[in-house]
Amino acid sequence: MTHRIVCLLALAAALAAAGCNNHATYSNGTDRYNRGLVVLLSGAGGMMGETDRIHDGLQQAGVDRAIETFRWSRGGVLTDQTGVETNRKKAHELARRVEGYMRSHPGLPVHLIGVSAGTGLVVWALEDVAPEFQATAGILISSSLDTQYDLSRAMANTKEGIYSFKSVADTVLSLGVTWAGTVDRGGGLAGGLVGFGVPSNASDETNRLYKEKLHEIAWWPGDVVYGHVGDHLGATNPAYVKAKVAPIVLGKELPEPEKTLPTEAVDAGKPAEPDRSVFSPPDDSRTRAAKEPADEKAGAEEPEDTPESEPPSPVKKQVEKARKDLDEQKSDGSRFFNWRVRRPAAKPAQTTRLPDESSFFRRPGGLP
């Protein structure tokens, strides 16, 4: 019995220690910490595997730095989204973690990557870091912070600024967050939906920081090739992370999306030039010679001379003849016109039922 009690106490202590540990590592070795640190934060609830996908994308892109997941979620989506005070306390813990790493590894790059509600903790942690410490950058994916939230303090504590991935097609932000409220309880639209605007009555320094250190990357339909269809977690797809997020961590320039139409598509919308035209109008003299018998041709009068620059067109003659036929039909009082044979169409058949037909339908078992 005593042995069983000791085992249970040891198990409880292990679980408690695991619950207090906010940092989950991905097989990081000491050598990785000597090259830099990347900290990942999930969205509200922390149950969609977004940090694992971001990790996979960074690994595929060759990011050889230590990658940690900071566990801040309490397991409830609405609780995480609305618990501002508790979230700020977690952000304070994250700030101390960043400072501790920067003390032991001075000068190495540090990136904080947050998703949805986790972006609030990224911004608050950067605000809380001591002035002598500066992270490299904060990366916000589908941020649920208010579009008017003042990012200037967080950007001032970074070397490169804040990168925000946004999408106007994000229905979670447009519907869910609009109903539940932003993670900072600002009450407006989410910055990850429409972007972050400069706060009202901003100082010159704030305007400068927004101009120089806020980098917004908008989703566009061409991103579907990376598995991002504009949805809430599309930017956490490993292929998209490899193409768009990893270059920020590695200090490379983001590739510009190819938004210009191919040359073939542009040419297709232009009218064909004479030398490229598929249709070539037939020679008028040869057409008349083929249609008119020789004896009629001899007695026919010569057509009026037309300028050489404007030869008579068979298509034009056909249009004029069609208009003439139409005028004749209108003057004849006909309502319907058969364009195929160019003569009045047959009148519609009589559809009025005769008296004997009515008696036929009333007979039992009668068929029409």
Quick check: 100 pLDDT over 90? yes
pLDDT, tens only, 129-168: 998 999 999 999 999 999 999 999 999 999 999 999 999 9
At 92, which CATH number? 3.40.50.1820
Instruction: Please report whether residue 322 resides in a domain.
Output: yes
Neighbours of 175 (CB within 10 A): 10
**Cβ–Cβ < 8 Å for 228, 234:** yes
Asked whether residue 195 falls in the same domain as residue 321, the answer is: no
- 52 confidence band (pLDDT: 50, 70, 90): very high
Asked whether residue 234 falls in the same domain as residue 286, the answer is: no
Instruction: Please report whether residue 104 resides in a domain.
Output: yes
**Higher pLDDT, residue 58 or 13:** 58
In which residue are the tokens 């040891």 written?
Answer: 10
What pLDDT is attached to residue 40?
A: 98
Residue 353 burial (C-beta neighbours within 10 Å; 0-12, 13-18, 19+):
exposed
Range of the domain at 188: 21-249
Q: How is residue 198 written in tokens?
A: 């400069």
**Cβ–Cβ < 8 Å for 23, 70:** yes
Asked whether residue 152 falls in the same domain as residue 222, the answer is: yes
pLDDT, tens only, 54-65: 999 999 999 999
Instruction: Please report whether residue 28 resides in a domain.
Output: yes
Residue of 86, 57, 51 whose CA lies nearest to 69: 51
| H helical segments located in 44-171 | 50-60, 77-82, 84-104, 118-128, 152-156, 171
Mean pLDDT, residues 114-141 taken together: 96
Quick check: 2 pLDDT over 70? no
pLDDT, tens only, 81-97: 999 999 999 999 999 99
Asked whether residue 118 falls in the same domain as residue 190, the answer is: yes
Instruction: Please report whether residue 299 resides in a domain.
Output: no
Asked whether residue 237 falls in the same domain as residue 316, the answer is: no
Number of domains forming the structure of the chain: 2
Residue of 202, 183, 201 whose CA lies nearest to 191: 183
What pLDDT is attached to residue 14?
A: 36
pLDDT, tens only, 294-333: 555 455 555 555 445 556 567 677 778 777 777 766 555 5
In which residue are the tokens 């999408």 written?
Answer: 167
What pLDDT is attached to residue 266?
A: 41
Q: How is residue 270 written in tokens?
A: 């232009």
Neighbours of 357 (CB within 10 A): 10
Asked whether residue 148 falls in the same domain as residue 231, the answer is: yes
Residue 358's DSSP bridge partners are none
What pLDDT is attached to residue 169?
A: 96
**Cβ–Cβ < 8 Å for 206, 151:** no
Asked whether residue 170 falls in the same domain as residue 112, the answer is: yes
Asked whether residue 129 falls in the same domain as residue 230, the answer is: yes
Mean pLDDT, residues 174-196 taken together: 92
Asked whether residue 234 falls in the same domain as residue 285, the answer is: no
What pLDDT is attached to residue 334?
A: 47
Asked whether residue 192 falls in the same domain as residue 316, the answer is: no
Name the percent of the chain lying above pLDDT 70.
64
**Cβ–Cβ < 8 Å for 218, 166:** yes
| Helix axes of 84-104 and 118-128: crossing angle, nearest 10 degrees | 50
Instruction: Please report whether residue 229 resides in a domain.
Output: yes
Residue 133 burial (C-beta neighbours within 10 Å; 0-12, 13-18, 19+):
middle
Instruction: Please report whether residue 276 resides in a domain.
Output: no
Mean pLDDT, residues 11-40 taken together: 65
Asked whether residue 330 falls in the same domain as residue 212, the answer is: no
**Higher pLDDT, residue 70 or 75:** 70
DSSP code for 359: H
pLDDT, tens only, 226-250: 999 999 999 999 999 999 999 999 9
| H helical segments located in the chain | 2-20, 30-33, 50-60, 77-82, 84-104, 118-128, 152-156, 171, 178-180, 191-194, 204-213, 238-240, 246-249, 263-268, 284-291, 294-299, 314-331, 355-362
Instruction: Please report whether residue 51 resides in a domain.
Output: yes
For the entire predicted model, the pTM comes to: 0.65
What pLDDT is attached to residue 116?
A: 97
CA separation for the pair 110, 23 (Å, rounded): 15
Q: Determine which of 182-186, 217-221, 290-294 has the lowest per-residue pLDDT on average.
A: 290-294
Asked whether residue 236 falls in the same domain as residue 285, the answer is: no
What pLDDT is attached to residue 277?
A: 40
Instruction: Please report whether residue 169 resides in a domain.
Output: yes
pLDDT, tens only, 244-285: 999 999 998 766 655 444 444 344 444 444 444 444 454 555
